Structure 1
Amino acid sequence: MCYEIKEGIVAAMTTATTASAASPPSSASAAAPRPRGRLDWRLRFAALSLVWGFSFLLIKVGTDGYAPFQVTLGRLVFGTAVLAVAMALKRERLPRGVRTWGHLAVAAFLLNALPFSLFAYSELTIPSTLAGICNATSPLWGMALSMVALSEDRPTRVRVAGLGIGFLGVLTVLGAWEGFHGLDAMGTAMALLASLSYPIGWIYVRRTLAGSGESHLSLTGAQLLLATVQLAVVTPLFTSVPSRLPVLPLLAIVALGALGTGFAVLVQYGLVAEVGPTTAQMVTYFIPVIATAAGVAVLGESLRWSTPVGAVVVLLGAALTQVRRKGA
């Protein structure tokens, strides 16, 4: 399962692809070659890792000049614009049906509006490095939730062990033996809650929108549009119009939306189609590494020994939660 693919519908597509791959393929489907992109998939994989890894740095820079809700709204506006252009070029239409739009509104809140806002608020008081590592806990939350919410997700000893190891890594990152000294509890809690929101949203999407018959690009475009509307309603209630427009934070917001939200989704589509969901989801394990390196090298954030050590333990646990029984 891929809980780190942040736009929701892509996660549902990834899961559906995994499920179909587990079934005995017909001779026609077995012989069908995967589509190949113009650029080698390894380069696109590296680009996606960098874009998502640098997203936490861009959030931090954006919040230096604008309120967190404004950063999130800008991110969604530019991300939606990129998908709108892609839909126009491919002549895709928005989905139809009131029920579909209702489910998309919930998905937009759980997978975009809520976690994006929580990460933006969290980075007012915690380093971008810590936010990136908290983001890596999504597979752990997802594993725990799926055992309860998805009957087909049967736990194994390895996966349960991965869950325990992963949360031990979280405690290491937070320095639990020191009483979490030096950490902002509220900011850290918001980052972890944002990470929890992704698998909740993914499970909701899987239950309500998987197999809807609409194209994944159309559904994701509509989802981002609805998230943009949600933030457009909320933002004026909690923020005022900026008296000035700092250029660097504004550029960070543009990059965060156009690259980290819009472009990243399109690249992820191509990777899943070409190399399959198992390989594509490996990008998950590079994001906290890049986020940490970017925060330290570019922003000059401090790094205790427990942060990288704990991050490695978190990623090990997350990887184990993805291990399935043979033939499953």
Structure 2
Amino acid sequence: MEKKLKWYLLLLLGLIWGSSFILIKKGLIGLSPFQLGALRIIFTAVFLLVIGFKNLAEIKHYQWKYIAITALFGTFLPAFLFAIAETQVSSSICSILNSLTPLNTLWIGILSFGLSFKRSQFFGVLIGLIGTIILIFGGATVGSTENYTYTILVVIASVCYALNVNLIKRYLSDVKPLSITTGNFTVMLIPALIVLFSTNFTSIMSESKTQHAMLFIMILGILGTGVANVLFFKLIQISTPVFASSVTYLIPVVAFVWGMLDHEFLTPLQCFGAFVILIGVYLANKK
């Protein structure tokens, strides 16, 4: 039964996380990037406090500083970086560049946390870097130079995710995943509210397009972050980290399909760059 369940969970996670990028794109129709990022955090925080409030007691006093740091790099900064990036970069490209997270996790672990590595993993990082360069500059015929700056924001977000993974592994490995996640969003709730009400949100919140956009972000926050994290932790429990990490390959596929349905496209050179990145991810994750 568990053998089938792990495959169902893997496919479901690929569908949920792969849909996150199109939800951000739709949310930006009625919200600014800062409003979107803040609402994403707020919706998720409320959901997690409902289901995981009791788990906060398991976090020791001295661990809260690491909870705050991982909240900053694991969610707070990426939530705004992705929203800003998607004002100029397609959801498909954002999802592909998000696949750099395992590669960034590896090199950050090697340089900063003393992680051991194999030659194939080192080549995986190099190949992934080459693929990234091809993907970013492969759209020169259809994009403007200005877009490159926004594309780099996605790369920075993936570096934040990677740093977060290494920090959790080093400092919070004895804390339950639900406790970490609930703690992260508890820490971010007040800053997110401050960011949200520092914008013109109160003056536009009654507009129909704003409410429509909020619905997409509520789905993104509750389903794409809250529920997905619980499912991912369950997947790790009933399978292996290597199997669970293979969701990385499904996310760009789902996002690419959503992008095509929304009239996005990649140049042939960008498709090749995406393929090169996935080869790099495979080599970096190979046992």
TM-score strictly above 0.5: yes
1:185 to 148, 168, 172: 148
CA contact 1:138–1:195 (8 Å) conserved in 2: yes
1:296-324 deviation digits (Å, cap 9, x = unpaired): 11x21122112222111101101111224
5+ unaligned residues in a row in structure 2: which ranges? none
2:116 counterpart residue number = 154
CA contact 2:107–2:125 (8 Å) conserved in 1: yes
2:198 counterpart residue number = 237
Q: Tell me by how many angstroms 1:41 deviates.
A: 2.5
Residue 55 of structure 2: SS of its match in structure 1? coil
2:282 to 311, 319, 323: 319
* Equivalence map 1:108-257=2 (5 Å): 108-151=71-114, 153-175=115-137, 182-183=144-145, 184-211=147-174, 214-243=175-204, 244-246=207-209, 247-257=211-221
CA contact 1:113–1:230 (8 Å) conserved in 2: no
Q: Tell me by how many angstroms 1:200 deviates.
A: 1.2
Residue 34 of structure 2 is aligned to residue 69 of structure 1: yes
Q: Tell me by how many angstroms 1:171 deviates.
A: 1.5
1:81 to 28, 33, 46: 46
Q: Tell me by how many angstroms 1:256 deviates.
A: 0.3
> Partners in 2 of 1:78 and 1:59 — Cα distance?
14
Q: Tell me by how many angstroms 1:180 deviates.
A: 9.3
CA contact 2:92–2:252 (8 Å) conserved in 1: yes
> Partners in 2 of 1:180 and 1:168 — Cα distance?
20
> Partners in 2 of 1:121 and 1:104 — Cα distance?
25
Q: Tell me by how many angstroms 1:206 deviates.
A: 2.1
TM-score (norm 1): 0.80
CA contact 1:63–1:249 (8 Å) conserved in 2: yes
CA contact 1:67–1:239 (8 Å) conserved in 2: no
* CA pair 164-180 structure 1, distance change in 2 beyond 3 A: farther
1:70-114 deviation digits (Å, cap 9, x = unpaired): 1122212222233233326xx534444432222111111100000
* CA pair 301-199 structure 1, distance change in 2 beyond 3 A: same
CA contact 1:94–1:222 (8 Å) conserved in 2: no
CA contact 1:94–1:221 (8 Å) conserved in 2: no
Residue 126 of structure 1: SS of its match in structure 2? coil
Residue 300 of structure 1: SS of its match in structure 2? coil
Q: Provide the aligned length of Structure 1 versus Structure 2.
A: 283
> Partners in 1 of 2:56 and 2:189 — Cα distance?
18
1:11-54 deviation digits (Å, cap 9, x = unpaired): xxxxxxxxxxxxxxxxxxxxxxxx949x8232221111010001
TM-score (norm 2): 0.90
> Partners in 1 of 2:203 and 2:32 — Cα distance?
9
2:247 counterpart residue number = 283
Letter in 2 for 1:111: G
> Partners in 1 of 2:200 and 2:270 — Cα distance?
33
Q: Would you tell me which structure has more helix in proportion to its own residues?
A: 2
Residue 271 of structure 2 is aligned to residue 308 of structure 1: yes
Q: Tell me by how many angstroms 1:155 deviates.
A: 2.8
1:41 counterpart residue number = 6
1:262 to 216, 226, 237: 226
